[in-house]
Amino acid sequence: LARPSETVGRSNMEKFCNVTVLLKPAADLPGVWTAHCLHLDLVTQGDGFIGAMAAIREAVQLVVDVDLSEGRDPLTRPSAPEEYWSQFSEVVKHGAPFDSIAAADMASVSAVVAQLRFSRPLHAALDAEFFETLPDPWVIAKVRGSTQQPSHC
């Protein structure tokens, strides 16, 4: 989990990079959620889970674009400290698929992990136009006090 998973895409010109996101209600801002891209150690925030997810998508895209335009590989950024990876593991261990959570339980969701997927060309001379952040392949949520095992992840 220390590095983004990479798989060669259909074209030799690009790779798909998956990065993990940990989302939680902000402890100090009512109604605000924080989103933390663990692989790149980027944090942002937004209104609710949906707003935070949109915000981290934009933040990751911005960082990838800027790093590439400066000739740097965004995937060499340091990842988040171990404590956040432990929180991620806790959600995966005790969480359930996000879409399986009843509407009545949504207010009790304490953390969500999701995956962002973006494509990038293999070659160093990179064109930001190649970048596209794709929909989340999976999302898992942990409800407060829940110890149930996910049916899939």
Partner 1 sequence: MPARLSAIAALLLGYGIELEEPSKGSHWKLRKPGCRVFPVPAHNGRKSEIGDEYIRALCRHFEIEPREFYRKLRS
Nearer to partner 1, 84 or 138 (CB): 84
Stretch that binds partner 1, among 5-13, 42-50, 116-124, 131-139 (CB under 8 A): 42-50
Residue 36 lies near partner 1 (rule: CB under 8 A): yes
What is each CA distance from 114 to 58, 76, 121, 136, in whole angstroms? Answer: 15, 21, 23, 6
**C-alpha 8 chain-centroid distance:** 20
**C-alpha 131 chain-centroid distance:** 16
Nearer to partner 1, 69 or 148 (CB): 69
Rounded Cα–Cα distance for residues 118 and 136 (Å)? 10
Residue 26 lies near partner 1 (rule: CB under 8 A): yes
Residue 46 lies near partner 1 (rule: CB under 8 A): yes
Nearest approach, Cβ of residue 24 and partner 1 (Å): 8
Binding partner 1 (rule: CB under 8 A), the pick from 4, 20, 44, 143 is 44
The dihedral sign for the CA sequence 123, 127, 132, 138 = positive
Residue 128 lies near partner 1 (rule: CB under 8 A): no
Report the SS3 class of residue 73: coil
Residue 66 lies near partner 1 (rule: CB under 8 A): yes
Residue type at 13 in one-letter notation: M
Pairing of strands 42-47, 96-97: unpaired
Stretch that binds partner 1, among 29-37, 107-115, 133-141, 145-153 (CB under 8 A): 29-37
Which two structure tokens, joined as six digits, stand for 4? 């983004």
Residue 72 lies near partner 1 (rule: CB under 8 A): yes
Q: Which residue ranges make up the site for partner 1 (CB under 8 A)?
A: 24, 26-29, 32, 34, 36, 41-47, 55, 58-59, 62-63, 66-67, 70, 72, 77, 81
